[in-house]
Protein backbone atom coordinates (compact mmCIF):
# COMPACT_ATOMS: atom_id res chain seq x y z
CA UNK A 1 0.00 0.00 0.00
CA UNK A 2 1.12 3.54 -0.68
CA UNK A 3 1.33 6.09 2.12
CA UNK A 4 -1.81 7.94 0.90
CA UNK A 5 -3.68 4.60 0.81
CA UNK A 6 -2.56 3.82 4.36
CA UNK A 7 -3.90 7.20 5.47
CA UNK A 8 -7.21 6.39 3.74
CA UNK A 9 -7.90 3.15 5.64
CA UNK A 10 -11.41 3.23 7.08
CA UNK A 11 -12.26 1.32 10.23
CA UNK A 12 -15.97 0.48 10.16
CA UNK A 13 -17.10 -0.61 13.62
CA UNK A 14 -20.70 0.47 13.01
CA UNK A 15 -21.07 2.06 16.44
CA UNK A 16 -21.31 -1.39 18.03
CA UNK A 17 -18.10 -1.28 20.06
CA UNK A 18 -16.86 -4.79 19.24
CA UNK A 19 -14.82 -4.38 16.06
CA UNK A 20 -13.20 -7.83 16.20
CA UNK A 21 -16.67 -9.42 16.11
CA UNK A 22 -18.68 -7.08 13.84
CA UNK A 23 -16.90 -4.64 11.57
CA UNK A 24 -14.30 -4.46 8.84
CA UNK A 25 -11.43 -2.40 7.52
CA UNK A 26 -11.62 -0.80 4.07
CA UNK A 27 -9.29 0.83 1.59
CA UNK A 28 -11.11 2.71 -1.17
CA UNK A 29 -9.00 3.10 -4.29
CA UNK A 30 -11.61 4.88 -6.38
CA UNK A 31 -15.26 5.84 -5.89
CA UNK A 32 -16.83 8.13 -8.44
CA UNK A 33 -20.19 8.60 -10.15
CA UNK A 34 -19.67 5.48 -12.30
CA UNK A 35 -17.73 2.84 -10.35
CA UNK A 36 -15.91 1.92 -7.15
CA UNK A 37 -12.97 -0.31 -6.21
CA UNK A 38 -12.13 -1.23 -2.61
CA UNK A 39 -10.32 -3.81 -0.58
CA UNK A 40 -12.16 -5.19 2.45
CA UNK A 41 -9.91 -6.60 5.17
CA UNK A 42 -11.40 -8.84 7.83
CA UNK A 43 -9.87 -10.16 11.03
CA UNK A 44 -10.32 -13.89 11.78
CA UNK A 45 -14.07 -14.61 12.10
CA UNK A 46 -14.89 -10.87 11.82
CA UNK A 47 -18.37 -10.27 10.39
CA UNK A 48 -19.75 -7.45 8.28
CA UNK A 49 -23.38 -7.21 9.47
CA UNK A 50 -26.39 -7.90 7.25
CA UNK A 51 -27.34 -5.00 5.01
CA UNK A 52 -28.48 -4.03 1.54
CA UNK A 53 -27.79 -1.25 -0.92
CA UNK A 54 -31.14 0.37 -1.85
CA UNK A 55 -31.89 2.64 -4.80
CA UNK A 56 -30.69 6.22 -4.25
CA UNK A 57 -32.08 9.31 -6.01
CA UNK A 58 -33.77 7.20 -8.69
CA UNK A 59 -30.64 5.16 -9.40
CA UNK A 60 -30.47 1.42 -8.66
CA UNK A 61 -28.66 0.32 -5.52
CA UNK A 62 -25.03 -0.72 -5.61
CA UNK A 63 -24.22 -3.89 -7.52
CA UNK A 64 -20.98 -5.40 -6.27
CA UNK A 65 -18.62 -8.20 -7.12
CA UNK A 66 -16.58 -9.71 -4.28
CA UNK A 67 -13.34 -11.41 -5.30
CA UNK A 68 -11.53 -13.27 -2.55
CA UNK A 69 -7.82 -12.45 -2.57
CA UNK A 70 -6.69 -14.19 0.62
CA UNK A 71 -8.26 -16.43 3.24
CA UNK A 72 -11.81 -17.72 3.14
CA UNK A 73 -15.01 -15.67 3.06
CA UNK A 74 -18.44 -16.98 4.00
CA UNK A 75 -20.94 -14.84 2.10
CA UNK A 76 -24.67 -15.00 2.81
CA UNK A 77 -27.29 -13.70 0.41
CA UNK A 78 -31.02 -13.95 -0.17
CA UNK A 79 -32.15 -17.33 -1.47
CA UNK A 80 -32.74 -20.84 -0.22
CA UNK A 81 -31.20 -21.24 3.23
CA UNK A 82 -28.18 -23.52 3.50
CA UNK A 83 -29.01 -26.15 6.12
CA UNK A 84 -25.80 -25.81 8.15
CA UNK A 85 -23.88 -22.62 7.51
CA UNK A 86 -20.14 -22.40 8.18
CA UNK A 87 -20.27 -18.85 9.55
CA UNK A 88 -21.06 -18.12 13.17
CA UNK A 89 -23.70 -15.46 13.80
CA UNK A 90 -22.52 -13.14 16.61
CA UNK A 91 -24.02 -14.18 19.93
CA UNK A 92 -27.26 -12.38 20.74
CA UNK A 93 -27.58 -11.03 17.17
CA UNK A 94 -29.47 -13.93 15.59
CA UNK A 95 -32.55 -11.82 14.76
CA UNK A 96 -30.43 -9.45 12.66
CA UNK A 97 -28.92 -12.14 10.41
CA UNK A 98 -31.86 -13.32 8.32
CA UNK A 99 -30.31 -14.48 5.02
CA UNK A 100 -28.52 -17.80 5.06
CA UNK A 101 -27.88 -18.84 1.47
CA UNK A 102 -24.16 -19.60 1.78
CA UNK A 103 -21.49 -18.95 -0.82
CA UNK A 104 -17.94 -19.87 0.16
CA UNK A 105 -15.20 -17.87 -1.53
CA UNK A 106 -11.57 -18.94 -1.58
CA UNK A 107 -8.70 -17.05 -3.26
CA UNK A 108 -9.47 -16.42 -6.92
CA UNK A 109 -13.21 -17.02 -6.57
CA UNK A 110 -15.80 -14.30 -6.93
CA UNK A 111 -19.52 -13.65 -6.64
CA UNK A 112 -21.69 -10.75 -7.80
CA UNK A 113 -24.36 -9.48 -5.41
CA UNK A 114 -27.36 -7.96 -7.21
CA UNK A 115 -28.68 -4.53 -6.26
CA UNK A 116 -31.01 -4.18 -3.27
CA UNK A 117 -30.10 -7.68 -1.97
CA UNK A 118 -29.62 -8.43 1.73
CA UNK A 119 -26.20 -9.89 2.45
CA UNK A 120 -23.59 -10.33 5.16
CA UNK A 121 -20.19 -11.95 5.23
CA UNK A 122 -17.63 -13.35 7.61
CA UNK A 123 -13.94 -14.21 7.36
CA UNK A 124 -12.68 -17.70 8.02
CA UNK A 125 -10.30 -18.74 10.80
CA UNK A 126 -7.31 -16.81 9.40
CA UNK A 127 -9.11 -13.65 8.27
CA UNK A 128 -9.64 -12.56 4.68
CA UNK A 129 -8.98 -9.92 2.07
CA UNK A 130 -11.71 -9.26 -0.49
CA UNK A 131 -11.56 -6.94 -3.47
CA UNK A 132 -14.87 -5.26 -4.18
CA UNK A 133 -15.69 -3.93 -7.62
CA UNK A 134 -19.01 -2.13 -7.79
CA UNK A 135 -21.16 0.63 -9.08
CA UNK A 136 -20.89 3.89 -7.11
CA UNK A 137 -20.68 3.29 -3.37
CA UNK A 138 -22.98 5.33 -1.15
CA UNK A 139 -22.25 3.74 2.23
CA UNK A 140 -24.35 6.32 4.06
CA UNK A 141 -27.46 4.97 2.25
CA UNK A 142 -26.89 1.32 3.24
CA UNK A 143 -29.78 -0.24 5.16
CA UNK A 144 -28.75 -2.54 8.01
CA UNK A 145 -31.02 -5.17 9.56
CA UNK A 146 -29.67 -4.29 13.03
CA UNK A 147 -31.25 -0.95 14.06
CA UNK A 148 -28.33 -0.31 16.47
CA UNK A 149 -25.85 0.17 13.61
CA UNK A 150 -24.55 3.66 12.92
CA UNK A 151 -22.79 4.16 9.59
CA 64 to CA 75: how far, in whole Å? 13
Q: What residues contact 140, with CB distance under 8 A and at least 6 apart?
A: 151
**pLDDT recorded at residue 15:** 96
User: What does the pLDDT look like over 60-106, one tens digit per residue?
Assistant: 999 999 999 999 999 999 999 999 999 999 999 999 999 999 999 99
CA 39 to CA 28: how far, in whole Å? 7
User: What does the pLDDT look like over 11-21, one tens digit per residue?
Assistant: 999 999 999 99
pTM of the complete model:
0.95
The CATH architecture to which 3-144 belongs is Sandwich (2.60)
Cβ-in-10-Å burial (0-12, 13-18, 19+) of 128 comes to buried
Query: Is residue 45 pLDDT above 90, yes or no?
Result: yes
Amino acid sequence: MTDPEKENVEIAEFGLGHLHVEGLQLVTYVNNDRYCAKDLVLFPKQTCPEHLHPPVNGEPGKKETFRCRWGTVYLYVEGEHTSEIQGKIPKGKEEYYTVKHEIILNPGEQYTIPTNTKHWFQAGEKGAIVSEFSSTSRDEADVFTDPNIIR
